[in-house]
Amino acid sequence: MLNTSKTFPGRVHLLWEYRHLIGQLARRDVLARYKKSVLGFVWSLLHPFLMMVVLAVVFSYVGRFNTGIKHYPAFILCGYLPWLFTATSLSTSVRSIVDAGNLLHKVAFPREVLPLAVVGANLFNFVLALIPLFIYISVIGVRFSSMLLLLPAAILIQTLLLIGFSFILSAAHVTIRDVGVILEVVLLAWFYLCPVFYPPSLVLDQAPAWFSNFYFINPMATLMVVYRVALLNAATPNLDMRVYGLITVSITVIVLAVGWRFFLWRQRSFVEEL
């Protein structure tokens, strides 16, 4: 009989018992993405670098965002890879419950498994894409420092943040099918509100103080700064990372807790609504 405990320790223990199912579903999602693809997993490596070339060329000449930034292509990639992890995780997890409607009618298992598997599959692709990034950074002559220790922490925080959002989106999409369409618009706006192709110092130097504070409350903006510090030793002057790092961790904990609670509350009607 499935344990229906709603306490945090109880749900964590339950999900741990179903870790193999999460792994199998994540593996299925990864394999399905490259099914009948000639290059297969190579696309996980090529896609970010092709986008890096496009963004680097475009924004080097349109707006000249590369001014004063060393290793601009690597700078872009250190922001684009985390963004790709975010965008693909949310855009695919939003349909995770709806797409598994038949499975929900037949098998009893913790429903959180479905969005968790989607985020897990995208986490695998993200980590895979970091390998050529490490090679590229080494080739262009950037030396890694002790700041590299921040990388696992940034990945963990981002993953937990995405799990929380995935819980909210996937549960809400069961009742309101417009959530997926709205998410596309939100992701487009969110992309430009993150320092993917421009330096965060641009916001600090040119925007009003109130906007700068609002801007860096955005957890993805702060995480991109952390990724660049870890991989490129590219610190952002006049930005107190201790403050905004703590804010990002706090937002992550809140999103995860609220998202999980919302998911558990909504899951009681999944089968009836699908």
Is pLDDT at 111 greater than 70 in this prediction? yes
Higher pLDDT residue, 7 or 125? 125
Query: 160, 252 in Cβ contact below 8 A?
Result: yes
Give Cβ neighbours of residue 189 (< 8 Å, ≥ 6 apart): none
Lowest mean pLDDT among 21-30, 69-78, 233-242, 254-263: 233-242
Predicted confidence at residue 81, as pLDDT, reads 92
Question: Which whole number is the average pLDDT over 129-146?
Answer: 87
Question: Which whole number is the average pLDDT over 41-57?
Answer: 70
Mean model confidence pLDDT for the chain: 86
Higher pLDDT residue, 78 or 36? 78
Query: 137, 233 in Cβ contact below 8 A?
Result: no
Is pLDDT at 42 greater than 80 in this prediction? no
Is pLDDT at 87 greater than 90 in this prediction? yes
Question: Which whole number is the average pLDDT over 15-24?
Answer: 91
Predicted confidence at residue 119, as pLDDT, reads 97
Is pLDDT at 1 greater than 50 in this prediction? no
pLDDT tens-place string over residues 152-209: 999 999 999 999 999 999 999 999 989 999 999 999 999 999 998 888 888 888 878 8
Q: What angle do CA 72, 73, 75 make, to 5 degrees?
A: 60
Tokens (6 digits) for 95: 């349909």
Is pLDDT at 76 greater than 90 in this prediction? no
pTM recorded for the entire structure: 0.90
DSSP 231-274: HH----TT--HHHHHHHHHHHHHHHHHHHHHHHHHHGGGHHHH-
What pLDDT band is residue 85 in, cutting at 50, 70 and 90?
very high
Question: Which whole number is the average pLDDT over 210-237?
Answer: 88
For 227-239, give one letter per residue: b (16+ CB within 10 A) or e.
bbbbbbebebeeb
Predicted confidence at residue 199, as pLDDT, reads 86
Helix axes 241-266, 150-175, angle to 10 degrees: 30
